Structure formats: structure tokens, C-alpha cells
Amino acid sequence: MTSGFRPAAAMALVSALLAVVLTWPLAAGLASTGRIDSGDHRHVVWNIGWVARALTSAPGTLFDANIHYPHRSTLAYSEANLVAGTLAIPVWLATHDALAATNAVILLSFVLSALAAFALMRHLTGHLPASALGAFLFSFSPFVFGRLPHMQLLMTFGLPLTLLALHRFAAFPRAGRAVALGISLAITALSCGYYGIFAGLVVGWGLLWLGVATGRWRQTRFWLWAVAALAIAALLTVPFLIPYAGMGEAGFARSLDDARMFSADWRSYLASPTISMRWLLPIIGTWQDVLFPGVLACAFAGLAVVHTLRRSPTPWPRATVAFYISLVALSLWASFGPDAGLYRLFFETLPFFDMIRAPARFGVMVTLGLSVLAAFAIARTVDAIPPARRRGAIGALAVAAIAAATVGPLRLATRPPMHEVYERLAQMPTGAVAEFPYWVTPVDRHRHTEYMLASTWHWQPLVNGYSDHLPAEAYTDGLALATFPAPEAWEVLRRRGARYVVVHWGLFPPGSSPRARVFEDHVGRELRPIVDHQDASLFELMKPIE
């Protein structure tokens, strides 16, 4: 095994280059383009911008995000993306642009995932080319490309990082390695709630499996340090979970029926956004999720399983390979949801597991497990090739892996320039803003993310908001605000403490713009115009609304 900094540095450079190429033209339009045609991604850009801004200006206000005014702790109404927001800080400080910061973290997520997976596979195989190829199969998998609008699901680096810490701890349980395991668990949990739960399950299973395999399960010290690692993870994580606890039963708990809607099926494991596999999509018809692990990952993982089952001479511990086979099998089983049985067992017995609304996301563990198994088989295959042909074989595998992962140019939307109403809002005294039309139906409620994205220009508090969890009065207040400028809307604006009103005249259905009514009945009485354009206007409330 080659030691030192050079292999990791080379892996970082290569993965950064591949991230730029395989997500092109994201890097070319870092501050101007993105998946902002998606409500989920507009929410992510706002989320990352808010976290980076709060951490660098007023950390005490971190969870008091500028939506659903006057409610507090509104960042906890959805995944907080604390790690992604922290990673965005350098670009945020350089640009104060939430879109640029978010796009930079997307690119960085590929690099971090590749580095963590490379470190894990290098630890297990001791083979640099196999570790690099296996890391690529995981970090640039169809699962990841299918989730570009969801920042938390791009934070896959925590999973191999936790597994690496687990293996190191199981091999030699001591204080430093217990601390490393606890920190890696906390980082994973704060990166993505789903991945934190997955990592906790994997560590629990791994401690049992590897403890028996190494014989350390008989040692009291092994279990004491394991408990210490879990305590460290809890100590680092719980303070950031306290705002979520305040939501009680109205929080993120899901029912088994909810989980059925987002469970995988066999078609999911054939669905892929890559160019090489798109021909299969019309054949499989509809699918629930994109979970195809990749041809090379499946082929080489199968080879590792065959060698292990046949008890062929292998340079790796069979117990380790068997652990990853079990990890793939259990994750696959859980991904099929309540009706397959394992998810239901977890749901009924494990704390916090009712937060897992989408069992299909266990597919990331399937891909990770198969990629590790593939690294074992690649190492054995490469070493069996005559040295004179070895570099050519490695190069051919690398080219094949890159070709299989290519999704083509990403379809990105261009961010419109900052409207004058938002430019002026950024200069106004702090005050709550209500924007109209006020979207209230399940079909268009996500359009509040358009206002949230625009708020990254000015960061004034918003009466509007879009999140997984909603305040108790959100529905009734929304129905009233949707009638703007009717009297019931003014009553809600008064109660919610609005100071500014932004009206996007062009967003109302044709023939229903309230522009004439607003100017005839309310300007000069309740509203003072600040900026007026045919497409949008900014007003300040002149006096308490009666």
C-alpha cells in the first residue's frame, strides 16, 4: 500500500475535474444557473444561503430563518443542511451569493464523497487503483445524479467516512478511534437526517458483525468504547436537534402508508439518468426512484461474491466481504418498504425510524456496499493481469466507468436578474414582507420558494414560506391571504406583523390581476408605494390595518 499524502491529493484533483466535467455546465454558470426550475432546489439555495449567512454573521439566529414570520426556529421546519451550509461559507464570504455557494457545495460533494470512499476502500483493500475505481462507482453513481436538486442527499461522504471509522475501531478499539467514530456519526447525521439513521443502523450491525469476526465482542473494553462513541455522537448532534423537538406530533413522523408511496420496486433498480442506460427506461415503464447501482459495480461485486462463496484464495478477509454482502442484502430489503417486512420491523421497534418517509433511499447503501465489493474484485482482477498490461487495463476500466456515469449536459435554468423591488427591499429597514399571489393549493404551494429564493437578495423576514412542516395556522391563514386584497387578507397581514407587501401582478391568472383594486381602494390609505412596475410593485403599510 502506498502511504502518504500524494494518493489522496491526486484523488481530490481527479474527482474535482470529473465533478466539473460530469455536471457541466454547472461550473460555468456557478452564480447564474442551477436547478432553480425545481421548488426543492430553490428551497435548497435559500437554505444553504441562510445557514452560511447566519453562521458568519449571527450564529445565535441560525434556526430563526426568515420564513413563516413571526414564527421562530423555522429552519427546523425542514432538513437544516447544517454541514452543507458550513461547507458553503468560503464561497458565501467571497460572493454573498446563495446560488454560487450552493453550486460550489454541489461540486464539492462529489469530491468529498470520492475522498471518503477512496479512504475506506484503500483501508480495506490496500489497492490504490481498485480503491479509486470503487470510489468513483459510488460517488458518481446514478443515485447521486438522480438527486441533484436535494442537497442533503448529495452529502453521501458521511457514509463511507463512518464505515472507515467503524472498521478502524473494530480492529483496535481505543479512545481516539471511539472519538473518530462518534464524530463521523455526528457529521453524517448533521449532513442528512436519513443518512444519520442509516449510519446508526450500519454501525450497530457492524459492531455486532465485526466484533464477532474479530473475537472482540468478548472484551468489555470493546463495548465500553463503543458506547462512548455513540455518546460522543449524541453529544455533538442533540443540541442541533432541540429545535426539532419543539414540533411534537406535528413534526416529521410518517405513517406506514406514507412510506409505501416512496418505497422502491424492482424497476427502481433499473432506472438510471445515465446516457448508457436511458434505452432501458421505456422498457421498464414507470418507476418509483432512481436506484440503478451501475453495470460495473454490479458485475465486479458479483465477482467478489462468487470468489467468496467458492472459497477461492482471496487477499481479503472473508468476514469483511460477508459483512458488505449482508449490508447490500439488508439495505435492498429495507428499500422495498413496509410490505417487504424489514422496514416495518424497524418502524415498529426503532426510535426516530418513523422519520424515514422514503424507504427507497436505502438504495444509497446498496450502491455503497456494491461499490466496496467491486473494489475487492477489481483489486484481484488487476493483480491477475501481467504487469506489462496492467496500466492499460486500469485505464480501460476508468474510461468505461466514466462513460457509464455520464448523464450529458445538465439542463439548468438561468436565474433572472434582481428585480428593483428586491434591490429596494435590501435597502429598507427590517420588516416582514408578504408577497402575492399567495399560493395555497397542493399543486402550487411550492411556488413560495420563488419568493424564498428572491429573499437571498435582501434577507428580510417573509410571511410566506415553504417547508416540510407547517405552522398550525398555515392553512387557514393561507386561504385568507390567497384572497388578497380582500378584507380577510388584511386581517392576517395585521396579525402576522407585515410591514411590506410585494405584488407580482403578472403571476395572477389572466384577467384576475388585482392591480386596479389595490391602487383604487388601498394606495394612500393602507399602502404607500415604494416601487411600481407593471410586473411587480413594492408597498409599505402606512398604518395599522383596520
Model pLDDT, residue 176 = 97
Report CA-CA distances (Å) from 263 to 259, 329, 536.
6, 16, 42
- Domain presence at residue 415: no
446 and 395 fall within a common domain: no
Q: Is 258 contained in some domain?
A: yes
Asked if residue 2 has pLDDT above 60, the reply is no
Asked whether residue 84 falls in the same domain as residue 159, the answer is yes
Residue at 455: amino acid letter: S
How would residue 546 be classed by pLDDT, with cut points 50, 70 and 90?
very low
Grid coordinates belonging to 183: 464524530
> Are residues 471 and 508 located together in one domain of the fold?
yes
Same domain, 310 and 437: no
Same domain, 397 and 437: no
Residue 410: inside a domain: no
Residue 414 lies in a domain: no
pLDDT at position 543 over 70: no
Per-residue pLDDT tens for 248-300?
545 566 788 889 999 999 999 999 999 999 999 999 988 889 999 999 999 99
- The answer to whether residue 244 sits within a structural domain is no
Same domain, 296 and 369: yes
Domain assignment of residue 315, yes or no: yes
Task: Find out whether 111 and 21 touch, Cβ atoms under 8 Å.
Answer: no
Residues 41 and 117 placed together within one structural domain of the fold = yes
Q: How far, in Å, CA of 485 to CA of 481, rounded?
A: 8
Would you give the DSSP letter of residue 417? P
Q: Would residue 142 count as lying in a domain?
A: yes
CA–CA distance from 295 to each of 92, 270, 276, 292, 370 (Å)?
38, 10, 10, 8, 11
Q: If you average pLDDT over every residue of the chain, what do you get?
A: 94
pLDDT given for residue 3 in this prediction: 61
Q: Do 518 and 488 belong together in one domain?
A: yes
The tens digit of pLDDT for each residue in 499-525 reads 999 999 999 999 899 999 999 999 988
The pLDDT of residue 229 is above 60: yes
With cut-offs at 50, 70 and 90, classify the pLDDT of residue 317: confident
> What number is the average pLDDT over the span 465-491?
94
pLDDT of residue 113: 98
Least confident interval from 108-112, 182-186, 308-312, 479-483: 308-312
Write down the pLDDT at residue 312.
Answer: 62
Phi, psi (rounded to 5 degrees) for 289: -155, 165
- Rg, Å, the chain Cα set: 26
Q: Identify whether residues 357 and 437 lie together within a single domain.
A: no
Look at residues 405, 436, 460 and tell me which one is the last residue of a structural domain: 405
Q: Are residues 202 and 258 in the same domain?
A: yes
pLDDT at 314: 65
pLDDT of residue 545: 45
Q: In this structure, is residue 256 part of a structural domain? A: yes
- Segments forming the whole domain that contains residue 354: 6-239+251-405
CA pair distance 474, 453, nearest whole angstrom: 20
| pLDDT band with cut points at 50, 70 and 90 for residue 1 | very low
* SS3 labels along 74-118: HHHHCCCCHHHHHHCHHHHHHHCCHHHHHHHHHHHHHHHHHHHHH
How many domains would you assign to the chain?
A: 2
The rounded distance, in Å, linking the Cα atoms of 213 and 317 is 10
Of 405, 433, 459, the residue that ends a domain is 405
Cell numbers that stand for 220 in this block: 468489555
CB contact set of 453 (below 8 Å; sequence gap of 6+) = 36, 42, 45, 46, 98, 415
Q: Which pLDDT does position 351 carry in this prediction?
A: 83
- Of the candidates 271, 323, 360, which has an alpha carbon nearest to the alpha carbon of residue 124? 323
Q: Which are the contacts of 226, defined by CB distance < 8 A and separation ≥ 6?
A: 169, 173, 178, 207
Dump pLDDT digits (tens) for 342-389. Answer: 999 999 998 878 888 899 999 999 999 999 999 999 999 999 999 999
Mean pLDDT, rounded, for 459-468? 97
Place of cell 462468487: 306
Is 266 found in the same domain as 184? yes
Strands 537-541 and 33-34: unpaired
Same domain membership, residue 125 and residue 172: yes
d(CA 153, CA 157): 10
Last residue in a domain, options 349, 372, 405 = 405
User: In this predicted model, what pLDDT tens digit does every residue of 105-127 receive, in sequence order?
Assistant: 999 999 999 999 999 999 999 99
Q: Using one digit for the tens of pLDDT, what is the confidence trace for 132-152?
A: 999 999 999 999 999 999 999
Task: Flag the least confident range among 67-81, 306-320, 400-414.
Answer: 306-320
Which residue did the predictor score with more confidence, 319 or 202?
A: 202
Q: Which helix (H) or strand (E) holds 435?
A: strand 432-436
Per-residue CA distances from 487 to 17, 277, 431, 436, 521 (Å) = 57, 56, 22, 15, 11
Average pLDDT over residues 3-20: 92
Q: How confident is the model at residue 245 (pLDDT cuts 50, 70, 90)?
A: confident
